[in-house]
Structure 1
Amino acid sequence: MPSILPHALTIRRASVADAPAVLRLFDEVIAWFVEMGNTGQWGTQPWSAQPQRVDRVMEACALPGAWVAEDSEGSIRAALVLGEAMPYVPPRTEPEIYVRLLVASRHPNARGLGRRMMAFADEQAQSAGVRRLRVDCYGGGSGDLVRFYESCGYERIATFDVDGWPGQLLGRWL
């Protein structure tokens, strides 16, 4: 069932047809990161120009736990993918929902949308009768991303490294 957000944004299930719009979100955020000097998180090249990244986003949008937030004009402003834990983090020890992907537009009417999408993940966990959520993120740079997830109620669990990319695993109990 779709969820209505402020500024006429609606959360709905994603599909492979949404992949080009989600890639545009990644490209938008990467350009913003480059302006800020944050090139360690996702690099400097648009994801839409990298076949491996395009394939990953298409696969993610096809997952049953893929969601997008769409405005009243049909523009996708955020994407969230929930599902199984990523292979590079310690395995779960209890039932959980894992936040596999979160990306939100820098557009003014999308302000606060990342936090709203994380609250939506909580709602999905509650609906499924699951009390545990985990997420991983870039653990380098200024640490702002880790602090964002902490502000959403997540606590640091462990750090990890994937081929020189520093990561942080966080978790939350509902």
Structure 2
Amino acid sequence: MTDTGKDILTLRRASAADAPAVLALFDEVIAWFVSIGNLQQWGSEPWSTMPRRITQVSDACALPGAWVAQDEQGEVRAFLALGESMPYVSAPTAPELYVRVLVASRDVRVRGIGRRLMAFADEQARAAGLDHLRVDCYAGSNGDLVRFYESCGYARIAPFNVDGWPGMLLGRTL
């Protein structure tokens, strides 16, 4: 990873030891969501206080395709987990790499890190000999998140709903 804003970010494999820092990222983003009135995407409570979310994040950090981006001070500024598709979406029709989790700090000094990590996912797919990627995201509110993934080269495949949570499955061919 190269210069992003004022900070230089280093990308490295994540481990379960990164879970507290990744939970802090989720807490930061949730606080921002609350400030803009988006209570539907991930709720309004910090994930670091919820046992189910702590387990989910710890498990995600231990995945072989989990990565963190750190700034020069060693602070985790973004998290990416790649792997198999999520159980609530349709099965893949071809071998693929699935973007399971992407979360990034709202700090302006690391603006653009989400897009850089999506490009990194492309690189990981190519290195694995894959040319299909998929991702899912929250499709409610104003649709900004769906549009973000579209701006990264993904196209809408199908909407889905998990217990009242509206999602969108998107895909990309390299």
**TM-score, scaled to structure 2:** 0.97
Structure 1 runs of 4+ with >6 Å offset: none
- Write the deviation string for residues 49-89 of structure 1: whole angstroms up to 9, x where unpaired: 10000000000000000000001100000000000000000
- 1:66, 1:79 within 8 Å by CA — same for their partners in 2? yes
Corresponding residue for residue 89 of structure 2: 89
**What CA distance in whole angstroms lies between the structure 1 residues aligned with 2:52 and 2:30?**
16
**TM-score, scaled to structure 1:** 0.97
Query: Which amino acid in structure 2 is aligned with residue 81 of structure 1?
Result: A
Corresponding residue for residue 155 of structure 1: 155
Corresponding residue for residue 101 of structure 2: 101
> Cα distance, 1:5 vs. partner?
4.6
**What CA distance in whole angstroms lies between the structure 1 residues aligned with 2:105 and 2:34?**
15
> Cα distance, 1:8 vs. partner?
1.3
Equivalent pairs, count: 172
Q: Structure 2: give runs of 5+ residues left out of the alignment.
A: none
* % identity of equivalent residues: 67
Corresponding residue for residue 43 of structure 1: 43
Query: Which amino acid in structure 1 is aligned with residue 101 of structure 2?
Result: L
Query: Which amino acid in structure 2 is aligned with residue 69 of structure 1?
Result: A
Corresponding residue for residue 10 of structure 1: 10
Find the residue that maps to 2:101 and give its secondary structure. Answer: strand
Query: Which amino acid in structure 1 is aligned with residue 154 of structure 2?
Result: Y
**What CA distance in whole angstroms lies between the structure 1 residues aligned with 2:52 and 2:2?**
33
1:144 and 2:149 matched: no
Find the residue that maps to 2:141 and give its secondary structure. Answer: coil
Query: Which amino acid in structure 2 is aligned with residue 112 of structure 1?
Result: G
- Write the deviation string for residues 102-129 of structure 1: whole angstroms up to 9, x where unpaired: 0000112110000001000001001111
Corresponding residue for residue 63 of structure 1: 63
Query: Which amino acid in structure 1 is aligned with residue 61 of structure 2?
Result: C
> Cα distance, 1:4 vs. partner?
4.1
**What CA distance in whole angstroms lies between the structure 2 residues aligned with 1:122 and 1:166?**
26
